[in-house]
Amino acid sequence: MSFHLKINDKVSGPFDAPQVEQILKMKIPGTYFSEDGGKTWEDPEIFGKEAEQILDPTDEQLEKASPQDKVPPIKASQLKRCLLFSDMSEEQIEHFTTALRQFKVKAYYPIIKAGTKASSLFILVSGEARISVRPEGKEELLNVIESGHFVGEVALFDGGTRSADVIANTDCLVLRITREDLNKIVTENPAVATPFLFNLGKFLATRLRETNERFLKAKNFAQSITS
Protein backbone atom coordinates (compact mmCIF):
# COMPACT_ATOMS: atom_id res chain seq x y z
CA MET A 1 0.00 0.00 0.00
CA SER A 2 1.07 3.57 -0.69
CA PHE A 3 -0.33 7.06 -0.27
CA HIS A 4 -1.90 9.47 -2.76
CA LEU A 5 -2.35 13.21 -2.39
CA LYS A 6 -5.07 15.50 -3.68
CA ILE A 7 -4.10 19.16 -3.87
CA ASN A 8 -6.80 21.49 -5.20
CA ASP A 9 -8.55 18.47 -6.79
CA LYS A 10 -5.38 17.33 -8.57
CA VAL A 11 -4.41 13.78 -7.59
CA SER A 12 -0.80 12.64 -7.50
CA GLY A 13 1.15 9.65 -6.20
CA PRO A 14 1.91 7.05 -5.10
CA PHE A 15 4.14 8.31 -2.27
CA ASP A 16 5.61 6.67 0.80
CA ALA A 17 4.93 8.03 4.29
CA PRO A 18 8.07 10.23 4.63
CA GLN A 19 7.32 11.92 1.28
CA VAL A 20 3.72 12.63 2.28
CA GLU A 21 4.85 13.94 5.65
CA GLN A 22 7.20 16.46 4.01
CA ILE A 23 4.54 17.65 1.56
CA LEU A 24 1.87 18.03 4.25
CA LYS A 25 4.25 20.12 6.34
CA MET A 26 3.92 22.79 3.64
CA LYS A 27 0.25 23.20 4.74
CA ILE A 28 -1.08 23.89 1.24
CA PRO A 29 -4.82 24.73 1.38
CA GLY A 30 -7.09 22.14 -0.24
CA THR A 31 -4.74 19.21 0.45
CA TYR A 32 -5.95 15.72 1.39
CA PHE A 33 -4.33 12.28 1.55
CA SER A 34 -5.59 8.78 0.78
CA GLU A 35 -4.42 5.34 1.91
CA ASP A 36 -6.73 3.38 -0.43
CA GLY A 37 -5.79 4.69 -3.86
CA GLY A 38 -8.14 7.68 -3.78
CA LYS A 39 -11.36 5.97 -2.71
CA THR A 40 -11.49 8.04 0.48
CA TRP A 41 -9.67 11.26 1.37
CA GLU A 42 -8.50 12.29 4.83
CA ASP A 43 -7.70 15.63 6.45
CA PRO A 44 -3.90 16.21 6.62
CA GLU A 45 -4.15 17.03 10.32
CA ILE A 46 -4.70 13.36 11.18
CA PHE A 47 -1.81 12.03 9.06
CA GLY A 48 0.38 9.82 11.22
CA LYS A 49 -1.76 10.25 14.33
CA GLU A 50 -2.64 6.55 14.30
CA ALA A 51 0.98 5.47 14.04
CA GLU A 52 2.20 4.17 17.39
CA GLN A 53 5.87 4.66 16.68
CA ILE A 54 8.25 7.44 17.67
CA LEU A 55 11.43 8.02 15.68
CA ASP A 56 14.37 6.80 17.77
CA PRO A 57 12.25 7.42 20.89
CA THR A 58 13.75 8.65 24.12
CA ASP A 59 12.68 7.35 27.50
CA GLU A 60 10.96 10.66 28.16
CA GLN A 61 8.89 10.37 24.97
CA LEU A 62 7.92 6.81 25.78
CA GLU A 63 6.84 7.73 29.30
CA LYS A 64 4.43 10.27 27.83
CA ALA A 65 2.57 7.50 26.02
CA SER A 66 -0.83 6.79 27.54
CA PRO A 67 -1.32 3.33 29.17
CA GLN A 68 -3.55 2.08 26.33
CA ASP A 69 -0.69 2.71 23.90
CA LYS A 70 1.71 0.46 25.79
CA VAL A 71 2.60 -2.80 24.06
CA PRO A 72 2.24 -6.07 26.03
CA PRO A 73 5.57 -7.63 27.06
CA ILE A 74 7.24 -9.72 24.39
CA LYS A 75 7.48 -13.42 25.17
CA ALA A 76 10.91 -15.03 25.25
CA SER A 77 9.79 -17.63 22.71
CA GLN A 78 9.25 -14.83 20.18
CA LEU A 79 12.92 -13.87 20.35
CA LYS A 80 14.58 -17.30 20.21
CA ARG A 81 14.79 -17.10 16.39
CA CYS A 82 16.70 -13.83 16.56
CA LEU A 83 20.47 -14.14 16.16
CA LEU A 84 21.11 -11.97 19.20
CA PHE A 85 19.19 -14.32 21.49
CA SER A 86 19.74 -17.67 19.77
CA ASP A 87 22.25 -18.93 22.37
CA MET A 88 20.24 -17.76 25.37
CA SER A 89 17.73 -19.70 27.44
CA GLU A 90 14.18 -18.40 27.67
CA GLU A 91 14.86 -17.49 31.30
CA GLN A 92 17.87 -15.37 30.27
CA ILE A 93 15.84 -13.69 27.53
CA GLU A 94 13.06 -12.87 29.99
CA HIS A 95 15.57 -11.22 32.32
CA PHE A 96 17.01 -9.30 29.39
CA THR A 97 13.74 -8.03 27.92
CA THR A 98 12.35 -6.72 31.21
CA ALA A 99 14.81 -3.81 30.94
CA LEU A 100 13.88 -2.97 27.33
CA ARG A 101 11.10 -1.21 25.43
CA GLN A 102 8.78 -2.48 22.73
CA PHE A 103 6.30 -0.67 20.56
CA LYS A 104 4.30 -0.94 17.35
CA VAL A 105 5.11 0.75 14.05
CA LYS A 106 2.33 1.21 11.54
CA ALA A 107 3.01 0.07 7.97
CA TYR A 108 4.78 2.63 5.74
CA TYR A 109 6.15 4.64 8.66
CA PRO A 110 9.87 4.90 9.50
CA ILE A 111 11.42 2.98 12.37
CA ILE A 112 14.73 4.80 11.86
CA LYS A 113 15.25 8.09 10.07
CA ALA A 114 18.53 8.81 8.29
CA GLY A 115 20.46 11.74 9.75
CA THR A 116 19.03 11.47 13.27
CA LYS A 117 21.45 11.13 16.16
CA ALA A 118 20.81 8.00 18.20
CA SER A 119 22.26 5.35 20.49
CA SER A 120 19.84 2.46 20.13
CA LEU A 121 19.38 -0.85 18.33
CA PHE A 122 16.05 -2.15 17.05
CA ILE A 123 14.97 -5.78 16.77
CA LEU A 124 12.12 -6.63 14.42
CA VAL A 125 9.98 -9.05 16.44
CA SER A 126 7.29 -9.34 13.77
CA GLY A 127 6.62 -7.80 10.38
CA GLU A 128 8.85 -6.68 7.51
CA ALA A 129 10.84 -3.49 6.92
CA ARG A 130 13.14 -2.10 4.25
CA ILE A 131 16.46 -0.30 4.57
CA SER A 132 16.95 2.49 2.05
CA VAL A 133 18.77 5.74 1.30
CA ARG A 134 17.82 8.86 -0.65
CA PRO A 135 21.03 10.27 -2.19
CA GLU A 136 19.13 12.54 -4.62
CA GLY A 137 15.67 12.49 -3.11
CA LYS A 138 14.77 9.18 -4.73
CA GLU A 139 14.54 6.08 -2.55
CA GLU A 140 17.17 3.41 -3.24
CA LEU A 141 16.54 0.03 -1.63
CA LEU A 142 19.50 -1.50 0.22
CA ASN A 143 17.90 -4.48 1.93
CA VAL A 144 14.67 -5.98 3.24
CA ILE A 145 14.58 -7.39 6.77
CA GLU A 146 12.07 -9.71 8.39
CA SER A 147 11.24 -10.80 11.93
CA GLY A 148 14.31 -11.84 13.88
CA HIS A 149 16.62 -9.32 12.21
CA PHE A 150 17.98 -6.16 13.82
CA VAL A 151 19.22 -2.73 12.73
CA GLY A 152 21.02 0.26 14.24
CA GLU A 153 23.73 -1.72 16.02
CA VAL A 154 26.50 0.79 15.22
CA ALA A 155 24.65 3.67 16.90
CA LEU A 156 24.29 1.50 20.01
CA PHE A 157 28.04 1.91 20.54
CA ASP A 158 29.08 5.20 18.92
CA GLY A 159 25.97 7.36 19.37
CA GLY A 160 26.39 8.71 15.84
CA THR A 161 23.85 9.66 13.19
CA ARG A 162 21.76 7.13 11.29
CA SER A 163 23.09 6.41 7.79
CA ALA A 164 19.86 5.06 6.28
CA ASP A 165 16.09 4.96 6.67
CA VAL A 166 14.38 1.84 7.97
CA ILE A 167 10.73 1.88 6.91
CA ALA A 168 8.03 -0.59 7.92
CA ASN A 169 6.58 -2.46 4.93
CA THR A 170 3.91 -4.00 7.16
CA ASP A 171 2.69 -3.38 10.70
CA CYS A 172 5.71 -4.22 12.87
CA LEU A 173 6.39 -5.03 16.48
CA VAL A 174 9.80 -3.66 17.42
CA LEU A 175 12.06 -4.07 20.44
CA ARG A 176 14.33 -1.12 21.22
CA ILE A 177 17.63 -1.45 23.09
CA THR A 178 19.42 1.75 24.14
CA ARG A 179 22.98 2.07 25.36
CA GLU A 180 21.59 2.84 28.82
CA ASP A 181 19.48 -0.34 28.71
CA LEU A 182 22.53 -2.41 27.81
CA ASN A 183 24.75 -0.82 30.45
CA LYS A 184 22.12 -1.57 33.08
CA ILE A 185 21.97 -5.25 32.09
CA VAL A 186 25.77 -5.53 31.99
CA THR A 187 26.00 -4.08 35.50
CA GLU A 188 23.10 -5.94 37.10
CA ASN A 189 23.27 -9.29 35.30
CA PRO A 190 26.50 -9.86 33.33
CA ALA A 191 25.66 -13.55 32.85
CA VAL A 192 22.66 -12.47 30.77
CA ALA A 193 24.48 -9.69 28.91
CA THR A 194 27.50 -11.82 27.92
CA PRO A 195 25.81 -14.13 25.35
CA PHE A 196 23.96 -11.16 23.84
CA LEU A 197 27.18 -9.18 23.41
CA PHE A 198 28.99 -12.24 22.05
CA ASN A 199 26.30 -12.79 19.40
CA LEU A 200 26.36 -9.10 18.51
CA GLY A 201 30.15 -9.28 18.18
CA LYS A 202 29.87 -12.30 15.86
CA PHE A 203 27.46 -10.40 13.64
CA LEU A 204 29.67 -7.32 13.48
CA ALA A 205 32.70 -9.49 12.67
CA THR A 206 30.80 -11.23 9.88
CA ARG A 207 29.69 -7.92 8.42
CA LEU A 208 33.24 -6.55 8.57
CA ARG A 209 34.55 -9.69 6.84
CA GLU A 210 31.93 -9.34 4.09
CA THR A 211 32.81 -5.65 3.64
CA ASN A 212 36.50 -6.52 3.32
CA GLU A 213 35.71 -9.20 0.72
CA ARG A 214 33.63 -6.76 -1.33
CA PHE A 215 36.42 -4.19 -1.14
CA LEU A 216 39.01 -6.71 -2.34
CA LYS A 217 36.78 -7.84 -5.21
CA ALA A 218 36.23 -4.23 -6.26
CA LYS A 219 39.96 -3.51 -6.02
CA ASN A 220 40.86 -6.59 -8.07
CA PHE A 221 38.28 -5.70 -10.69
CA ALA A 222 39.59 -2.13 -10.93
CA GLN A 223 43.13 -3.41 -11.35
CA SER A 224 42.07 -5.90 -14.04
CA ILE A 225 40.49 -3.26 -16.25
CA THR A 226 43.32 -0.75 -15.85
CA SER A 227 46.23 -3.15 -16.37
The arithmetic mean of pLDDT across residues 17-40, rounded, is: 82
Angle (nearest 5°) at CA 108 between 54 and 104:
40
pLDDT number for residue 72: 65
CB 34, CB 44: distance < 8 Å: no
State what percent of residues in the chain have pLDDT above 90. Answer: 5
Nearest to 159 by CA among 140, 135, 183, 138: 183
pLDDT number for residue 128: 92
Q: Which domains does the chain have, with CATH numbers?
A: 3-46 (no CATH), 59-210 (2.60.120.10)
Q: How confident is the model at residue 226 (pLDDT cuts 50, 70, 90)?
A: low
Q: How confident is the model at residue 66 (pLDDT cuts 50, 70, 90)?
A: very low
The arithmetic mean of pLDDT across residues 34-39, rounded, is: 83
CB 122, CB 176: distance < 8 Å: yes
CB 11, CB 42: distance < 8 Å: no
Roughly what angle, to the nearest 10 degrees, separates helices 90-97 and 190-226?
90
Q: How far apart (Å, rounded) are the C-alpha atoms in residues 200 and 22? A: 35
203-207 own/partner pairs: CB under 8 Å, 24+ apart:
203/83, 203/84, 203/153, 204/153
pLDDT digits (tens, 9 = 90+) for 37-54: 888 898 888 776 554 444
Q: How confident is the model at residue 124 (pLDDT cuts 50, 70, 90)?
A: very high
Least confident of 31-40, 70-79, 166-175, 185-194: 70-79
pTM of model > 0.85? no
More confident residue, 153 or 61: 153
Q: How far apart (Å, rounded) are the C-alpha atoms in residues 166 and 126? A: 14
pLDDT number for residue 53: 45
Centre a 10 Å sphere on the Cβ of residue 102 and count the other Cβ atoms it contains: 18
pLDDT number for residue 52: 41
More confident residue, 128 or 49: 128
Say whether pLDDT at 199 is over 60.
yes
Least confident of 28-32, 73-77, 143-147: 73-77
pLDDT digits (tens, 9 = 90+) for 85-114: 888 888 888 888 887 888 888 787 788 888
Q: How far apart (Å, rounded) are the C-alpha atoms in residues 199 and 227? A: 42
